[in-house]
């Protein structure tokens, strides 16, 4: 039988150990990162609201699927986010695999939904183990979807400086030698997403080649000045294809991808029929003043700062702020370019509108479409991403490629 003294000592020991455990837990608990723009309840509400109105980056996701995934998340933990959306993606992938033999059209639709959920699980950057797993699954699901398309999607693997350029080629049926849109993804909208949009060009008799911007996806180079040589190498390759018209190419960039479409325009003015620049950075964006302001944008759904650190390979915000001025396009702006369409929104909180104006006022004459009520990408309530793509960018590109 235990004596009162021994019982008292045991209680004291338990109390001490409990106190130490609580203290250690508090010490180890992550402190909120200063660049977080939303609490978890706020992020949950905003994510669902965007899914309900089919707004970026939840475009194409089913509202009920997002609601289910969010119900399994209770913090800003990246792996929780990835796990919840991977579970939805896994369900769609299993359905697709069961439908492959008898119902290929249904399988294609389910692989597409699997890809959307996996891609949202890794969004905006695969900077945790869970998000890396979700990114890998998104590639598998998208390739499975691409194999079921008609015409199917071809994966290009082009040797480049000891590495490989990976791109997705889609060609229109019945066109012997179509012109090409070279579609450059953005920080979080990788080549799979731009390939999904770019499939619309096939209706115009135009082929689409989707590729990642440096620092993302399968890109063989980090985000540094000079990495536009990836696209020069791609142009070299396209000129060797007998089933493509490499003499008729337009480069389309979206968001940060526009920075790279602009650099290609300055590097390859004689080998391009046109360039689309949509809400990309030019000069003021790279200043410390703008960045310190933009770090707090709520236009971006989540992890705005980590996504920039990821693409630039920078270890901290301070290192990123020191590095960014080296990316400015200011010294290039007066060089000639092929015809360029500049798209933007006057109220963009991610890239300064003054960069759009600077680009328009410099170098070769340019075409412009500016939404006075628009935010990033020019989007607003009246002008969705899809409407801008279909009513502005796509007709201009088709006119450029079919001008001769």
Q: How many domains does the chain have?
A: 2
Tell whether 108 and 130 lie within a shared domain.
yes
Is the confidence at residue 402, as pLDDT, over 90? no
Tell whether 179 and 264 lie within a shared domain.
yes
Is the confidence at residue 27, as pLDDT, over 50? no
**Count of beta carbons in the 10 Å neighbourhood of residue 374:** 23
Exposed, middle or buried, 362 (CB in 10 Å: 0-12/13-18/19+)?
A: middle
Tell whether 170 and 211 lie within a shared domain.
yes
pLDDT tens digits, one per residue of 351-386: 999 999 999 999 999 999 999 999 999 999 999 999
Give me the residue label for tokens 């997705």. Answer: 168
Strand segments (E) across 151-226: 154-160, 163-170, 180-184, 207-211
Exposed, middle or buried, 124 (CB in 10 Å: 0-12/13-18/19+)?
A: buried
Tell whether 122 and 234 lie within a shared domain.
no
pLDDT given for residue 34 in this prediction:
63
**Count of beta carbons in the 10 Å neighbourhood of residue 174:** 8
Mean pLDDT of the chain: 91
Q: Find the domain containing 182 and state its range.
A: 151-401
Contact 305, 124 (CB under 8 A): no
Tell whether 105 and 162 lie within a shared domain.
no
pLDDT tens digits, one per residue of 120-153: 999 999 999 999 999 999 999 999 999 999 999 9
Of 127, 148, 169, the one marking the end of a domain is: 148
Q: Compute the radius of gyration of the chain from its Cα atoms.
A: 24
Is the confidence at residue 337, as pLDDT, over 90? yes
Mean pLDDT of 293-304: 88
Please give the Cα distance from 281 to 344 (Å, whole number).
11
Is the confidence at residue 8, as pLDDT, over 70? no
pLDDT given for residue 297 in this prediction:
86
What are the phi and psi torsion angles at 253 (to 5°)? -110, 145
Sheet of strand 249-253: strand arrangement: 154-160, 163-170, 207-211, 180-184, 249-253, 274-278, 340-345, 367-371
Is the confidence at residue 398, as pLDDT, over 80? yes
- For the entire predicted model, the pTM comes to 0.88
Tell whether 189 and 138 lie within a shared domain.
no
Tell whether 263 and 363 lie within a shared domain.
yes
Tell whether 125 and 222 lie within a shared domain.
no
33 confidence band (pLDDT: 50, 70, 90): low
**Count of beta carbons in the 10 Å neighbourhood of residue 330:** 13
Q: Which of 51-60, 329-338, 395-404 has the lowest mean pLDDT?
A: 395-404
pLDDT tens digits, one per residue of 245-276: 999 999 999 999 999 999 999 999 999 999 99
Is the confidence at residue 313, as pLDDT, over 50? yes
pLDDT given for residue 10 in this prediction:
35
12 confidence band (pLDDT: 50, 70, 90): very low
Higher-confidence residue of 9 and 223: namely 223
Contact 332, 358 (CB under 8 A): no
Is the confidence at residue 21, as pLDDT, over 80? no
pLDDT given for residue 2 in this prediction:
37
Dihedral angle sign, alpha carbons of residues 278, 282, 284, 286: positive
pLDDT given for residue 293 in this prediction:
85
Higher-confidence residue of 286 and 13: namely 286
pLDDT tens digits, one per residue of 200-210: 999 999 999 99
pLDDT tens digits, one per residue of 145-179: 999 999 999 999 999 999 999 999 999 999 999 99
pLDDT given for residue 25 in this prediction:
32
pLDDT given for residue 30 in this prediction:
40
CA distances from 129 to 66, 82, 83 (A): 21, 9, 10
Is the confidence at residue 79, as pLDDT, over 60? yes
- How many percent of the chain have pLDDT more than 70? 91
Of 148, 177, 202, the one marking the end of a domain is: 148
**Count of beta carbons in the 10 Å neighbourhood of residue 197:** 21
Nearby residues of 37 by Cβ (< 8 Å), 6 or more positions away: 296, 297, 298, 300, 302, 304
Is 193 a member of any domain? Answer: yes
Tell whether 378 and 392 lie within a shared domain.
yes
Is 351 a member of any domain? Answer: yes
301 confidence band (pLDDT: 50, 70, 90): very high
CATH number of the domain that residue 86 is part of: 1.20.1440
pLDDT given for residue 295 in this prediction:
84
Please give the Cα distance from 371 to 356 (Å, whole number).
12
Is the confidence at residue 307, as pLDDT, over 60? yes
CATH number of the domain that residue 367 is part of: 3.40.50.1820
Is the confidence at residue 80, as pLDDT, over 50? yes
Tell whether 217 and 185 lie within a shared domain.
yes
């Amino acid at each position: 039988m235990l004596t009162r003294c021994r019982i008292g000592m045991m209680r004291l020991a338990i109390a001490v150990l409990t106190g130490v455990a609580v203290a250690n837990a508090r010490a180890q608990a992550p402190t909120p990162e200063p660049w977080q723009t939303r609490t978890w309840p706020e992020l949950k509400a905003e994510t669902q609201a965007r899914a309900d109105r089919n707004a970026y980056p939840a475009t194409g996701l089913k509202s009920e699927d997002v609601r289910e995934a969010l119900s399994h998340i209770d913090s800003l933990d990246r792996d929780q986010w990835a796990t919840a959306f991977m579970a939805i993606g896994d369900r769609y992938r299993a359905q697709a695999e069961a439908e492959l033999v008898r119902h290929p059209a249904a399988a294609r639709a389910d692989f597409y939904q699997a890809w959307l959920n996996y891609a949202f699980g890794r969004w905006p950057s695969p900077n945790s183990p869970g998000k890396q797993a979700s990114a890998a699954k998104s590639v598998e699901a998208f390739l499975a979807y691409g194999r079921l398309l008609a015409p199917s999607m071809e994966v290009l693997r082009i040797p480049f400086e000891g590495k490989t350029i990976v791109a997705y080629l889609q060609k229109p049926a019945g066109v012997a030698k179509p012109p090409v849109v070279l579609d450059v993804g953005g920080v979080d909208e990788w080549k799979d997403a731009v390939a999904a949009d770019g499939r619309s060009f096939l209706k115009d008799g135009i082929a689409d080649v989707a590729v990642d911007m440096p620092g993302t996806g399968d890109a063989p180079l980090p985000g540094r000045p000079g990495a536009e040589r990836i696209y020069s190498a791609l142009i070299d390759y396209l000129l060797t294809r007998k089933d493509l018209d490499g003499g008729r190419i337009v480069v389309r960039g979206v968001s940060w991808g526009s920075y790279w479409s602009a650099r290609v325009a300055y590097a390859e003015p004689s080998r391009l029929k046109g360039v689309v620049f949509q809400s990309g950075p030019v000069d003021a964006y790279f200043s410390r003043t703008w960045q310190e302001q933009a770090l707090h944008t709520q236009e971006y759904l989540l992890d705005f700062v980590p996504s920039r650190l990821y693409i630039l390979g920078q270890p901290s915000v301070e290192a990123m702020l020191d590095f960014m001025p080296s990316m400015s396009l200011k010294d290039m702006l007066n060089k000639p370019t092929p015809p360029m369409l500049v798209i933007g929104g006057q109220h963009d909180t991610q890239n300064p509108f003054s960069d759009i104006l600077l680009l328009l006022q410099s170098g070769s004459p340019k075409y412009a479409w500016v939404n006075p009520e628009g935010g990033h990408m020019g989007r607003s309530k009246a002008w969705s991403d899809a409407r801008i793509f279909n009513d502005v960018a796509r007709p201009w590109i088709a006119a450029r490629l079919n001008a001769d």
